[in-house]
Amino acid sequence: MKAKDVQKSLQSVAKPERVEHLQRFFKSGPGEYAEGDMLIGVYVPNARKIAQQYNTLALGETKKLLKSKIHEEGFVALLILVNQFQNGDSKDQETIYNLYLENTKHINNWDLVDASAHLIIGPYLENKEKKILEKLSKSKILWERRISMMATFSYIKKGKFKTALKIAKILINDSHDLIHKSVGWMLREIGKRDLAVEEKFLEKHSTKMPRTMLRYAIERFPKEKYRYYLGKK
């Protein structure tokens, strides 16, 4: 199997009539955050099926797809990497983790980050030093900052909130809407598992949070509590 086989499979299910809509959805126009990203109009379920079909693709070939300017090729590459990480031994996992960090400039949209960071970066670092997440959270690159937050989802799911709260605190003053959304989302996920932990964080930091971040964080709160936190802004 080669990268070109995956490319042919994607082209076979591409829907050119969807491209214009997807370009707007993924902000790939001039001056937007994903400027230059090319789309061919593949539905996500079809992309996932193709990733499963090629889940034993050699790492070198997968890397070619990851570096592609075609969005769906990068998406499939990351799904393949996730599968190989989850089924690999510790050496395989280290290789994939390093490849991921070496290619963050190609993981350049929110769906690419969200489909992979908590399934590769988070799990790899679970029982290791996590300074790299702090470093990524302070990066000038938008996607590295989002990776730092989304990677912590793997810990949140296990009821471990310390790292997520630390990264959220670092990102509170971030200027980008996509970071506001990711931080708010992860705080909401913490609240689903331990509302007291989320509220303790909000009581201390909600007045400094961008409104979008706060709205995401309190989205599931009862009306009175929702209004209370919005009123503190």
The whole-number average pLDDT for the span 163-171 is 97
CA distance linking residue 177 with residue 210, whole number of Å: 9
CA distance linking residue 19 with residue 67, whole number of Å: 20
Secondary structure, 3-state, 70-115? EHHHHHHHHHHHHHHHHHCCHHHHHHHHHHHHHCHHHCCCHHHHHC
The whole-number average pLDDT for the span 77-94 is 96
pLDDT confidence of residue 233? 59
The whole-number average pLDDT for the span 159-181 is 96
Determine how many CB atoms are found less than 10 A away from the CB of residue 75: 26
In this prediction the pTM is: 0.91
The whole-number average pLDDT for the span 198-203 is 95
Evaluate if residue 194 carries a pLDDT over 80: yes
* 66, containing H or E segment: helix 59-66
pLDDT confidence of residue 230? 86
The whole-number average pLDDT for the span 3-20 is 91
CA distance linking residue 135 with residue 78, whole number of Å: 22
Q: Which two tokens stand for residue 92?
A: 């395989």
Task: Provide the 8-state DSSP code for 56.
Answer: T
pLDDT confidence of residue 21? 84
Determine how many CB atoms are found less than 10 A away from the CB of residue 134: 13
The whole-number average pLDDT for the span 28-41 is 79
Q: Answer whether CATH 1.25.10.90 is correct for domain 128-233.
A: yes
Mean confidence (pLDDT) of the chain: 93
CA distance linking residue 126 with residue 156, whole number of Å: 11
Burial class (CB in 10 A: 0-12, 13-18, 19+), 130: buried
CATH: 1.25.10.90, 2.60.40.2580, 1.10.287.1040, 3.30.43.10. Which one for 1-116?
1.25.10.90
The whole-number average pLDDT for the span 202-214 is 94
Check if the beta carbon of residue 193 is closer than 8 Å to that of residue 167.
Answer: no
Q: Could you check whether 1-116 and 128-233 share the same CATH topology?
A: yes
CA distance linking residue 207 with residue 140, whole number of Å: 25
The whole-number average pLDDT for the span 44-51 is 94
Q: Would you list the domain boundaries of the chain?
A: 1-116, 128-233
Q: What percent of the chain has pLDDT over 90?
A: 82
Closest CA to 198 of 154, 158, 168: 168
Evaluate if residue 26 carries a pLDDT over 90: no
pLDDT confidence of residue 25? 79
Q: Which two tokens stand for residue 62?
A: 């997968």
